[in-house]
Chains A and B, each alone.
Chain A
Amino acid sequence: MNMLEFAMQVFRANMMDIPLINPIVEELMSVPWLNLVVALILWRPFFAVVVMPGLVVIMLYLLYIIWFERKLTARIQWRVGPLEVFRPLRGAIQALADGLRYFFQESIVHREAHRPYFVQLPILAFIPVLLPIALIPAGNVVGIKTPYAIPLFIALLSLIPITIIAIGWASNSRFAFIGSVREALMYVAYEIPFIIAAISMIYLYGSADPYVAVEKQTIPGALLNPVACLVFLISMLMATSRLPFEIPEADQEIAFGPFVEYSGMLFGLVMVLAYEKLYLMSLLFTILFLAGWSGPQLAVLGDINAPLWLVVKTLIVISILSIVRSMYARYRIDQALRFGFSWILAFSIIALAIGVVLGYEGGI
């Protein structure tokens, strides 16, 4: 009992304060046992990682973005897009229906695959997806509060391609092998400009602390350093293998590359990896360039104001980015590498120069 009381004490000391649902929370807190669950969910670090902007929001975001992207592409292409699954909302839960189908489908593990890794890696890939979430603050809702959050976030983010390459290796197929090699090459091409663009913003704000970065953005970072913003956006497209850089999983050439052998639930897991990565990178983009969680505050929402603004801004960024899917063809790997190592790298160095000049003597 002592342990539980101690846990309760810890949770209560750092709980979300949302005036809108306060009466309900007060009511629930008087129920034994249930109050522990409620306190845990509303405990700020837990709320940040698991609810918002963490796991629960990621799941909702996946439902939304897959539907929105298909619907937008369909509108551009003189089509209707998903419609029949839940007609009142124009097929909005299509992704959920697909997910259910994946769930009940047989996951075939072929004979040549390295069985343990083949099955483990799609699940292990969630570690680098969920860990960076703990570092991203949204106002006072934060998992791990550290002044080095941005570098740590980028470091954890760069683990995702490694899991993809490992997935390709474990698949042990020619197309998966080519896809893995392409993924590795693309990784080198976008990661350097991406990191330099982020560093230029760190220079500009004079700190790697997201709180400082958001505080200093009275003018959004996208206007302070538009070159860095551009480089960041393009390397986001490259990192999440979206057209025109959908090279590692080009389905007409190498049939989904590293994921060619997956089926069923495992395919469902690896398919959403790129979308999750896009979400994480957009979170960072929002914090660095769009003034993060700052925005008009509603008193009734209390603490949840900040995460809400962060998530809304992120979703807007992603929704705008999803239009490129219907606009461009796919580049060849050598063209993409040339692009990454010449133009993008050059622009990132210009961005770094702008950042250093503007952020001279401890940031703006």
Chain B
Amino acid sequence: MKEIALDVAVEPPKEFESLFLPLPKEYVEDVYRKDEFLILVGPQHPGSGHMRLIVRVRGDVIQEVIPDPGYVHRAIEKLAENRLYVQNIPLVERPAIMDSANLNLGYVRAIEEAMDIEVPERAKYLRTILAELCRIGTHLYDAAILAVFLGHTTGFMYPFGIRELICESLVKMTGARFTSSFIIPGGVRRDVEKATLDWVYWATFAIEKRLKSFERIFIRNPTVIARLKDVGVLSKREAIEFGVVGPFLRASGVEYDVRKVEPYEAYDRVDWEIVVADEGDSYSRFLVRVNEVAQSLRIIRQCIAEIPEGRVISDQICEDNDIRGEFLDRLADLVLPSGEYTTLTEAARGSVVYTIVSDGESNVPYRFRIVTPGWLYLRGFMESLRGERLADLQAIYGSFGYFPPEADR
């Protein structure tokens, strides 16, 4: 077919001049010359979260998506440079509060690595339980957001209802619904009673039972499968090239989990499997996380059944087994030896990297670096949108569980 080109003068809408697009003027003109147009999704859009997506569409098909993140940037790295090492613990939990234990754990492990602290066994098991509880909570939260993006309000309410059990478990164990700052250098803040652990053990069965009704109404719902299947596909090669992490990498067929590759805490002592899928589409990204919840429940049950007796805080930090009352005396003047310490932790949405650079004489970090999974898989998220329909934007967004506060830090 012969293509006929008419040189029509094109003028992009005036409003683009005042919207602070992170794009050159020529790009906008080019879009409108090619009979395409730009849709700004967010930051005040019911389906965007705290970020702006600049979507270039041709008809209904997405050509390119340019992310404009940073609306919830909180300068956590800079703030951390002016606080004591222990004061940073509540700070590093804040990027994703429902995933606080995992983020907390990564930071504390960097300090322990620097100071060569040996963590007692019982504390390791307690940390694992907390980390897995937070992982389930985050996966349920993301499933709920995915459901509401698809217009399925029941799928939104059920996971939040189930998540109450997670919050209740955390309250009983630590005293706070999510940001508990319970994991401290050398162990955990205090011991958890057996009765509480038993409560959590039985709560895992309650969660499993309720997840079955969620599966009936949402996971196996034909409309949900129709919306998610074969949408936003990332092949194995693409997923690796774009640096996708966590469950989204495993959904593309890459068997990689930090908990297996470099086991920390009690992960090498319990029996569990890496969940992988081959398709790499939105549905498998969702299913991988659903199955990870089952694995996490399994880990929690094993941990509670096998938890050893003993100290919960290292004797290098505190001779007593209880740090209450002398917390700041023991930990406020932590000074890390000079050097650079990096840890890799598997948070719910993927690997989180912590780097602490210490000058060896001050009691605050010289430089602090945190790279959250959201930031790492943003590229893969944007690439998987290419060629899909505009209505799929929210389905793919939800399937990645992208959480702007976590990515912006």
Closest residue of A by beta carbon distance from B40: A174
* B223 and A244 within 8 A (CB): yes
Residue A252 interfacial (CB < 8 Å): yes
Complexed CA–CA distance, A333 and B59 (Å): 13
A interface majority secondary structure: loop
Which of A20-28, A72-80, A220-228 is the contact stretch?
A72-80
Q: How far is the CB of B393 from chain A (nearest CB, A)?
A: 7
Of A49-57, A149-157, A320-328, the stretch lying at the interface with chain B is A320-328
Q: Which residues of B contact A76 (CB under 8 A)?
A: 154
**Do residues B149 and A326 form an inter-chain contact, with CB atoms below 8 A?**
no
Is the beta-carbon distance between A252 and B149 smaller than 8 angstroms?
yes
Interface string of B198-224 (1 = CB under 8 A from A): 000000000000000000011001011
The reply to whether A332 and B227 contact each other, CB–CB distance below 8 Å, is yes
Given contacts A78-B157, A174-B39, A252-B148, A328 and B223 within 8 Å (CB-CB) = yes
Give Cα A188 to B324, complex, Å.
70
Q: How far is the CB of B155 from chain A (nearest CB, A)?
A: 7
B342 to chain A, nearest CB (A): 38
- B150 near A330: Cβ-Cβ < 8 Å: yes
A-side contacts of B155, CB under 8 Å: 329
* Contact residues, B35-93 vs A (CB, 8 A): 37, 39, 45-47, 60
Is A335 positioned at the interface, with any CB of B under 8 Å from its CB?
Answer: yes
CB distance from A274 to the nearest CB of B (A): 15
B158 close to A (CB within 8 Å): yes
Q: Is the CB of B391 within 8 A of A250?
A: yes
CB-CB nearest in chain A for B221: A329
Bound-state CA distance A174–B39 (Å) is 7
- Size class of the contact patch on chain A: 20 to 34
| Chain A residues within 8 Å of B226, by CB | 331-332, 335
> Chain B residue with minimal CB distance to A77?
B157
Q: In the assembled complex, which residues on chain B have CB atoms less than 8 Å from the CB atom of A326?
A: 153-154
A332 with B392: CB separation less than 8 A:
yes
Known: A331-B227, A334-B389. A250 touches B158 (CB 8 A): no
Q: What residues of B have a CB within 8 angstroms of the CB of A79 in the complex?
A: 157
Interface code A237-279, partner B: CB below 8 Å = 1, 0 otherwise? Answer: 0000001101100111101000000000000000000000000
Give residues 76-101 of A contacting B (CB, 8 Å): 76-79
Please tell me if B147 contacts chain A, counting CB pairs below 8 Å. yes
* Closest chain B CB from A121 CB (angstroms): 24
Q: Is residue A178 contacting chain B, with contact meaning CB distance below 8 A?
A: yes
Cβ A332 vs Cβ B389 within 8 A: yes
A78–B161 CA distance with the chains assembled, in angstroms: 8
Known contacts A178-B390, A252-B46; decide if A329 and B224 are in contact (CB<8 Å).
yes
CB neighbours (8 Å) of B45 from chain A are 255
| Residue of A with least CB distance to B162 | A78
Q: How far is the CB of B392 from chain A (nearest CB, A)?
A: 7
Contact B391 A328 (CB under 8 A): no
Contact between A253 and B158 (Cβ–Cβ < 8 Å)?
no
Neighbouring B residues of A255 by C-beta, 8 Å: 45-46
Contact B153 A331 (CB under 8 A): no
Mark out the residues of chain B between 139 and 160 whose CB falls within 8 Å of any chain A CB in the assembled complex. Answer: 147-155, 157-158
B394 at the interface (CB under 8 A from A): yes
A253 and B394 contact, Cβ closer than 8 Å, known pairs A73-B153, A330-B151: yes
Q: How far is the CB of B355 from chain A (nearest CB, A)?
A: 37
Tell me the complex Cα distance, A250–B151, Å.
7
B177 to chain A: closest CB distance in Å? 19
- Do A252 and B47 touch across chains, with their CB atoms under 8 A apart? yes
Q: Are A253 and B391 in contact (CB under 8 A)?
A: yes
Q: How far is A26 from B297 in the complex, measured between Cα atoms in Å?
A: 75
Bound CA–CA A1/B370 (angstroms):
89
Does the CB pair A333–B46 fall under 8 Å? no
* Residues on B with beta carbons closer than 8 Å to the beta carbon of A78: 157-158, 161
Contact B153 A325 (CB under 8 A): yes
Q: Are B154 and A253 in contact (CB under 8 A)?
A: no
- Asked whether A327 lies within 8 Å of B227 as measured between CB atoms, the reply is no
Question: How far does the alpha carbon of A332 sit from the alpha carbon of B388 in the complex, in Å?
Answer: 11
Task: Write out the residue numbers on chain B whose beta carbons fall within 8 Å of the beta carbon of A174.
Answer: 37, 39
Cα A360 to Cα B396 with chains together (Å): 52
Q: Which residues of A contact B221 (CB under 8 A)?
A: 327-329
Instruction: Please give the distance in Å from A342's CB to the nearest CB on chain B.
Output: 14
Determine whether the beta carbon of A252 is less than 8 Å from that of B151: yes
Residue of A nearest to B15 (CB): A112
Instruction: Find out whether the CB atom of B390 lies under 8 angstroms from the CB atom of A77.
Output: no
The answer to whether A77 touches B224 (Cβ under 8 A) is: no
B54 to chain A, nearest CB (A): 13
- Give the residues in chain A near B154, CB-CB below 8 Å: 73, 76-77, 326-327
Question: Nearest A residue to B222 by beta-carbon distance?
Answer: A328
Please name all residues of chain A whose beta carbon is closer than 8 Å to the beta carbon of B389 when the two chains form the complex.
Answer: 332-334
| Nearest chain A CB to B147 CB, angstrom units | 7
Contacts of A178 in B (CB 8 A): 390
Query: Given A178-B390, A250-B391, A253-B393, A331–B223 Cβ distance below 8 Å?
Result: yes
B393 to A328, Cβ gap below 8 A? no
Question: In the complex, A320→B155 CA distance in Å?
Answer: 20
Neighbouring A residues of B151 by C-beta, 8 Å: 243, 246, 250-252, 329-330
For A244, what are the chain B residues with a Cβ–Cβ distance below 8 Å?
223
Could you tell me which residues of chain B, from 100 to 153, have a CB within 8 Å of some CB in chain A? 147-153
Residue of A77, A333, A334, A335 with most partner-chain B CB within 10 A: A77
Looking across the interface, which residue of chain A has its beta carbon closest to that of B218?
Answer: A329
A326 vs B154: C-alpha distance when bound (angstroms): 6
Provide the bound-state CA to CA distance between A50 and B224, in Å: 42
Proximity bits, B389-403, A CB within 8 Å = 1, else 0: 111111000000000
Contact A333 B217 (CB under 8 A): no
The interface residues of chain A lying within 8 Å CB-to-CB of B39 are 174
In angstroms, Cα B390 to Cα A301, docked, is: 55
Whether A329 touches B391, Cβ cut-off 8 Å, given contacts A77-B158, A253-B47, is no
**Which listed residue, B47, B153, B227, B391, touches A77 by the CB 8 Å rule?**
B153
Q: Are A329 and B158 in contact (CB-based, < 8 A)?
A: no
Contact B152 A328 (CB under 8 A): yes
* Interface pair A253/B223, CB less than 8 Å apart: no
Chain A to chain B contacts (Cβ below 8 Å), 21 pairs: A73-B154, A77-B157, A78-B157, A178-B390, A250-B151, A251-B46, A252-B47, A252-B149, A253-B394, A255-B46, A326-B153, A327-B154, A328-B221, A329-B150, A329-B221, A329-B224, A331-B223, A332-B227, A332-B389, A332-B392, A333-B391
5 shortest interchain CB distances as A-B pairs = A330-B151, A77-B157, A252-B47, A329-B150, A329-B152
Interface residues of A, Cβ cutoff 8 Å to B: 73, 76-79, 174, 178, 243-244, 246-247, 250-253, 255, 325-335
Given contacts A326-B153, A332-B391, 8 further A-B contacts (CB under 8 A): A79-B157, A174-B37, A252-B150, A252-B394, A327-B217, A329-B147, A329-B155, A332-B392
